Amino acid sequence: MPGMDGLEATRRLKASPSAPRVLIVSLFGDSAYRAAATQAGADGFVPKSEMPFELPRFLADAAAARHA
């Protein structure tokens, strides 16, 4: 993304009155990246290596929360 990274995009999205749920998918999976994603307001963080397993769970949780 020109001009910003995913963390900045997350901050901007989450600052809006009707903020969407944000899942950060990253090549990096260490605790520092997870903490940065949480501080930026992300609703979830998934390392790319875990995406096939974690993405369906995140989507199911998001759908359940929307219907609750």
In this prediction, residue 23 carries a pLDDT of 92
Q: What pTM was estimated for this model as a whole?
A: 0.80
| Cα(56)–Cα(62) distance, integer angstroms | 10
CA-wise closest residue to 13 among 24, 25, 2: 24
pLDDT per residue over 17-61, tens digit each?
A: 999 989 999 998 889 999 999 999 999 999 999 989 888 988 888
In this prediction, residue 47 carries a pLDDT of 92
In this prediction, residue 45 carries a pLDDT of 93
pLDDT: which is higher, 48 or 66: 48
In this prediction, residue 2 carries a pLDDT of 83
Q: What is the DSSP string of 14-37?
A: HTSTTPPP-EEEES--SHHHHHHH
